[in-house]
Structure 1
Amino acid sequence: MDILQDLESRGLIQQTTDREGLEKHLKEKQVTLYCGFDPTADSLHIGHLLPITMLKRFQQAGHKPIALIGGGTGMIGDPSGRSTERSLNTAEVVKGFSEKIEQQLAKLLNFDNGENAAVARNNHDWLSSMTAIDFLRDAGKHFSINYMLAKDSVTSRIEHGITYAEFSYMILQSLDFLKLYEQENCSLQLGGSDQWGNITAGMEFIRRSKGEEEIKVFGLTVPLITKADGSKFGKTAGGAIWLDASKTTPYEFYQFWFNTDDRDVMKFLNYFTFLDQVEINTLQTEVDNNPGDRIAQKRLAEEVTKMVHGEEALTQAIKISESLFSGNLKQLTANDIEQGFKDVPTKTLAKADIGLVDLLVEASISSSKRQAREDIKNGAIYINGERNQHIDYALSKNDRIEDRFTIIRRGRKKYFLIRFS
């Protein structure tokens, strides 16, 4: 199976500019391709994972990927798929974001792979040195207003208003394709389905600026990711799922994928993992026959967490998950607790022995001492996973994990973290 057949079997191709021509082009030679990532934050999020895995798939097929950091276009903001204009960041902020994103991409793509090693480029290198006259004469003259107005990224904003800066974004992205075509012999641009208009504009710009109709350049888009329940992919009650472990811990990341709906899990296995179709079909059988076991979700969570955060972080995420499921919390380290209990209610106390009743009230676990006594008598209180029904019990150093944390559970699912300073 060639690369395009594999992508099609996984449902990963939304549009191509010339399917037969691209297939022939990919078979004739090693192709250089690119996808752009605008630095709108200090980390990529899981919405970026699909284009990243696309670059990895082409690299594994022997082609050469370019990860283009939008240090220049990030100063403007892409209007595609948006109803309002982005807030503009300063040059210094965009530069900092660009550096962090490049570091992330270096971990996710193989930058040390010989002849088809991935490379990172930054469009600030060529856009920042271009004068207004250069921009208008060398690029603007090749774009008619009628042509630009026909693009979805523009038409969707006409009614509510679009600034000239955003209107020009299409030309800036087209300049990227031209520069990479000239400097890197790049002939294929990847993007989300909302980038179709920008991609085709770039192809047309290359042909017009070079004065040649038969130039072999291509575009390919991936589908918009939708969830079966109608909610937005990549969003949770706590916000976006980031690829930076300091913003979304590997445990939280693992849990996001593990909690995938049965209706979505096979699609996500095809999209985000490199498992072959035989194994994916086997997992489909598990979903059909034993949905409660969540075998497919577990495999999805393992594969994606390992790809983004590495084997060690995956092992830790699984350990935390299994400890919470089994209730065996004493095996957790302080570092595990920092990850797994990041968003639970937390109370900081001085290191000293404290009566269990007083602790429950002071940490707002129970509403009063009377309620605390009832909770303890009824067996609703667990200390580090172990039920405690002793009203006169006092917590000591023995109840502090690494002398820093005690985990209190009230009922079946309500966790509270006591942090000792």
Structure 2
Amino acid sequence: MMNVFDTLMERGYIAQTTHEEEIRELLGKESVTFYIGFDPTADSLHVGHFVTMMFMAHMQRAGHRPIALVGGGTAMIGDPSGRTDMRQMLTKEGIEHNVSCIKKQLENFIDFSDGKAILENNADWLLDLNYVDFLREVGTHFSVNRMLTAECFKQRLEKGLSFLEFNYMLMQGYDFYVLNEKHNCIMQLGGNDQWSNMIAGMELIRRKTSKQAYAMTCALLTNSEGNKMGKTAKGAVWLDPEKTSPYEFYQYWRNVDDAEVEQCLRLLTFIPMDEVRRLSALEGAEINEAKKVLAFEVTKLVHGEEEAIKAEDATKALFGGSGDLDSMPTTELEKSLFEEGVGILSLLTQIGLTKSNGEARRLITQGGISIKNSQVSDPSIVITLDDFEDNRLIIRKGKKVYHQIKLV
């Protein structure tokens, strides 16, 4: 059986390790408890988190025990990593709401039954800390000079780093120490932007207990220009179906650039590597077959097989003339509204394709709106019942965003 470390290396997950040979040997001979942290800065995880969730899932499938740590305490501070400005301060109530939402998403993805995984919230130990005791027990082990050389602080020093955020590294390091004491957690996994914080926790464990701990970071999901993937014109691609519908989620992966297909198949699916290589080698129009597999597999993992099939059927109906359109983003409107007609500008805004009539007008004049595959050129047109077929009207925004209006 292949060592999970080799699996992770082959699939391109591992970016940095603290002790490569030791970690590989350890993961091959015993069950290791490890953790990954998720800060609840929103009420849903997004595509950027999905890579670390897959990292965690591969480890669990190989017999290792994950701890999913939700940062209800650290979110009160805000992680300065990868930021050029200070994060918006969240209320305690807002953080608690976000934590509960994220917990549900993690529970749908990681098997927490029979102690196979642990769910923790660092608010349980961080919010009741005595500040002076914390400084004496933890702060004494951190060198300010060394902290200032960390990448997570460097880019903030030019614009200003608050003392509040400066504490974040101590708190994340303390998390690792607490989980080590409580669950014998000896390894932290996370995104490559967390390297400095992970080293801090590893060092804190060594200084306080003389025990060895380890860290591994995973590669970020980036496009061919090196920018983070998971963004659309509407914003982040969320894992919450209320924020990004399963159809929109499916379409995002169906439309990735050809150059990104292999990376996405490696990192975001469990498809065997031989098949990943075969699919990635397809060229020209055939690469679309690989994109169909990618879109279906990723949607199935996040939203379940039923929703993946619905999204696939809606796509077939839209582009192939067969299948079911009901999974496409849809707005139901009263039939009576269109007896006298509705202006295209107000209609686009009403169904959420644009934020204002002004934006709708600009989009139309730039050729960005099509109805029944015909480009709309006149922003003053009125949509009536005559424009509907079988009580449906499909509007396309740009090249890839489709929205259906159904009459009721």
Asked if these proteins are the same fold (TM beyond 0.5), I'd say yes
Cα 1:157–1:398 shift into 2, 3 Å? closer
Inter-CA distance 309–363: structure 2 relative to 1 (3 Å threshold): same
Instruction: Quote the Cα distance in structure 2 between the aligned partners of 1:157 and 1:408.
Output: 46
**CA distance in structure 2 between the partners assigned to 1:142 and 1:412 by the alignment:** 55
What is the deviation of 1:278?
1.2
**What is the root-mean-square deviation in Å for CA atoms of aligned residues?**
2.8
Confirm or deny that 1:332 pairs with 2:325: yes
Displacement after TM superposition at 1:134 (Å): 1.7
Q: CA deviation at 1:224?
A: 2.5
Specify which of 309, 315, 323 is matched with residue 317 of structure 2. 323
Q: Which residue of 2 aligns with 1:163?
A: 162
1:1-400 alignment, distance < 5 Å: 1-112=2-113, 114=114, 117-210=116-209, 212=210, 215-229=211-225, 231-285=227-281, 287-288=282-283, 290-327=284-321, 331-333=324-326, 336=327, 340-342=328-330, 348-351=333-336, 354=339, 359=341, 362-363=343-344, 382=372, 399-400=390-391
Provide closer, same or farther for how the CA distance between residues 416 and 91 of structure 1 changes in structure 2, counting only shifts above 3 A. Answer: closer
Residues 259/14 of structure 1: CA separation in 2 closer, same or farther (3 Å cut): same
Q: Residues 29 and 36 (structure 1 numbering): CA distance in 2 closer, same or farther, change over 3 Å?
A: same
Taking the aligned partners of 1:256 and 1:77, their CA distance within structure 2 comes to 29
The residue that corresponds to 1:387 in the other structure is none
Q: Answer yes or no: is the 8 Å Cα contact 1:407–1:415 preserved in 2.
A: no
Deviation, 1:332, is 3.3
Preserved CA contact (<8 Å) 1:347 1:363: no
* 3-state DSSP of counterpart to 2:253: helix
Shift of 1:351: 3.3
1:37 counterpart letter in structure 2: F
Tell me the distance in 1 between the aligned counterparts of 2:111 and 2:89. 32
Change (3 A) 1:411 1:74: closer
Query: CA separation in 2, counterparts of 1:418 and 1:189?
Result: 47
SS of structure 2 residue aligned to 1:35: strand
What per-residue deviation string (whole Å, max 9, x for no partner) do you get for residues 116-149 of structure 1?
x112100000001111112111111111111211
Q: Is the 8 A contact 1:77 1:88 kept in 2?
A: yes
Tell me if the contact between 1:262 and 1:291 (Cα under 8 Å) persists in the aligned partners: no
- AA in 2 matched with 1:313: E
Secondary structure at the counterpart of residue 69 of structure 2: strand
Cα–Cα, structure 1 residues 134 and 262, in superposed 2: closer, same or farther, change >3 Å?
A: same
Query: Within 2, Cα distance between the matches of 1:14 and 1:267?
Result: 14
Q: How far apart are residue 156 of structure 1 and its match?
A: 2.0
Identity across the alignment (%):
42
Distance 1:171 1:410 in 2: 49
SS at match of 1:186: coil
Which ranges of structure 1 fall in alignment gaps of 5 or more residues? 366-379, 384-392, 401-405
Measure the CA separation in 1 of the matches of 2:291 and 2:65.
31
- The Cα shift of 1:150 comes to 1.7
Q: Over residues 222-268 of structure 1, what are the superposed CA-to-partner deviations in whole Å (9 max), with x where a residue is unaligned?
A: 12322014554110111100000000000000011111111110011
Stretch moving more, 179-188 or 227-236: 227-236
**Alpha-carbon distance between aligned partners in 2 of 1:95 and 1:158, rounded to the nearest angstrom:** 30
CA distance in 2, matches of 1:169, 1:148: 11
Output the CA distance in 2 between the equivalents of 1:416 and 1:153.
41
AA aligned opposite 2:278? T
Aligned-pair distance for 1:189? Answer: 0.1
The whole-number CA distance in structure 2 between the counterparts of 1:161 and 1:145 is 16
Distance 2:261 2:397 in 1: 31
TM-score, structure 2 as length reference: 0.85
Residue 410 of structure 1, CA deviation: 8.8
- Aligned partners of 2:84 and 2:156 also within 8 Å: yes
Paired residue type of 1:128 = L
Bigger radius of gyration, 1 or 2? 1
Q: How many corresponding residue pairs?
A: 374
Question: Structure 1 pair 159/318, CA: closer, same or farther in 2 (3 Å)?
Answer: same
- Paired letter, 1:146: N
* Aligned residue in 2 for 1:386: none
Deviation at 1:154, TM superposition (A): 1.5
Q: Residues 411, 132 of structure 1: CA spacing in aligned structure 2 closer, same or farther, 3 A cutoff? A: closer
